[in-house]
Structure formats: structure tokens, C-alpha cells
Amino acid sequence: MRAAIAAAMTRSKREIPHYYLSTTIDTGAVMTWLRAENERRTVTDRLLPAVLLIKAVALALREVPELNGHWVADRFRPGPGIHVGCAISLRGGGLVAPALHDADTTGLSVLMQDLQNLVARARAGSLKSSELADPTITVTNLGDQGVDAAFGIIYPPQVAIVGFGKIADRPWVVAGKIEPRPVLTATLSADHRASDGHRGGVFLAAIDRLLQHPEAL
């Protein structure tokens, strides 16, 4: 596992001209909506913040499609759909990033079930080959490890990876006053052959905007 990861990441850093961007997002609206939503659900049907982040990434890719796809034979090939690879750590060590297919059109409840199922099968070693081959972008979320920000390395032939850190209370200016707000850092590592910093900035801004209206995800 480590040898395969090492080979892929070495190839990535050698061949892909990465650029890196980050933004800090106020998640107050997300957390307030999530608490209210989960109060109406059974324990087994409750949503985690991670699924809202994945859905926001998927919807933002509709606005910046050049981040969704693969670099093959010296050109960008758009993905056949928005298939978000989710980085999952394995109990025995190592990492896989299988796909949540068509994440942009899947409702939050089903997406949450699909994510839980994907994690369980990844750790049981029962993933389908298509789930490992199909991702058109990857999301890595290290918030549960206490990480403030995660700048990932692109998994070739993909052209982008999104990272999320922990949600934590920070001083934030609201209507001219400083108050504690739950915020997180979102990062983008992208292939400069397929996109540029301006488009990457548009993408991160779209994620921020979408998360301010979680009821619409």
C-alpha cells in the first residue's frame, strides 16, 4: 500500500505543476442548520458536516468544470459525471479514495448513506474496482484529526484535490463587530495545465457561497 501511494505521489509531484489556494469559511449557517435538521432525524439518519462539504464541492464543480476530470495524453478530458473521491484512512495503514458517483445530483440523505457504506467497505476491503478508478476529483477531510488546513497532492490523472480542516471557533468580524464564529479552512491543490488561480478562486468562492445556504444543498 505504502509503495503504491509513494509511486503515485512521486509521479504527481514530478509531472504535475501544482498551484495552491486556500480560503477561510464561516460555517455558522451550516452548523445551525445541521443541528436543527438532525433534531428531526433518527440517530441512524443524521447528517455529518462532511457530507455537506462534499455536496458543496460537487455543486461548485458545475461552475468550474475544468477542475472535474483527468489530464490524459497532454490534454484535459472532462469527467463523465461529478464523481467525488473521498480519502479514507484504512485501519491497517494506508489510504484509498473511492468515488461517490454523481455527487452533485444525489440528495444529502442518500449521499450520507453512500458515504458511510463506502467507508465501511473500504475498511473491509470490499470496494469495487470502478469506485477506485472513477473519481474525477478528490476531497480529503482531516478535521477530525485536529488539522487546521490540508494541502493535498493531486492523484493523477485527476487535476485537483480539495482539503478541509477542522471547524473551530475563531474571532470573526460580523457587521463590524468581532465575535466567535465556527470557521474552517478549505484548500485547493490544482493542476496548472488544466486551470489557473483565477478559476481556482472562483471555485473556492462557490463552495463558500453554497455553504452559506445549506438548506439548498
Query: At 92, is the pLDDT very low, low, confident or very high (cuts 50, 70, 90)?
Result: confident
Question: Cell 480542516 sits at which residue?
Answer: 165
Model pLDDT, residue 5: 87
DSSP secondary structure string for all residues of the chain: -HHHHHHHHHHHHHH--EEEEEEEEE-HHHHHHHHHHHHTS-GGGPPPHHHHHHHHHHHHHHH-GGGSEEEETTEEEE-SS--EEE-EE-TTS-EE--EETTTTTS-HHHHHHHHHHHHHHHHHT---HHHHH--SEEEEE-GGGT-S---PPP-TTB-EEEEE---EEEEEEETTEEEEEEEEEEEEEEETTT--HHHHHHHHHHHHHHHT-GGG-
Our answer to whether residue 192 is catalytic in this structure is yes
The confidence band for 94, taking pLDDT boundaries of 50, 70 and 90, is confident
Instruction: Find out whether 160 and 191 touch, Cβ atoms under 8 Å.
Output: yes
The percentage of residues in the chain with a pLDDT greater than 70, rounded to a whole number, is 100
Give pLDDT, residue 143.
84
What's the pTM?
0.95
Distance CA 53, CA 65 (A): 17
Note the pLDDT tens digit of each residue in 180-199. 999 999 999 999 999 999 99
Per residue in 51-78, pLDDT tens? 999 999 999 999 999 999 999 999 999 9
Provide the pairing of β-strand 69-72 with 75-78: antiparallel
Rounded CA-CA distance 205/59 in Å is 12
Which entry of 18, 83, 192, 198 is annotated as an active-site residue?
192
Q: For residue 46, what pLDDT is reported?
A: 97
User: How confident is the model at residue 141, as a pLDDT?
Assistant: 95
Q: What is the pLDDT of residue 31?
A: 97
Above 90 in pLDDT, residue 200? yes
What digits encode the pLDDT tens for the residues 95-141?
999 999 999 999 999 999 999 999 999 999 999 988 999 999 999 99
Domain ranges of the chain: 2-216
Task: Give the mean pLDDT of the chain.
Answer: 95
Given this model, what pLDDT does residue 91 score? 82
For residue 154, pLDDT beyond 90: yes
Q: State residue 74's pLDDT score.
A: 94
CATH, range 2-216: 3.30.559.10
CB contact set of 88 (below 8 Å; sequence gap of 6+)? 95, 96, 97, 98, 118, 119, 122, 123
Give the mean pLDDT of 149-165.
96
pLDDT > 90? residue 93: no
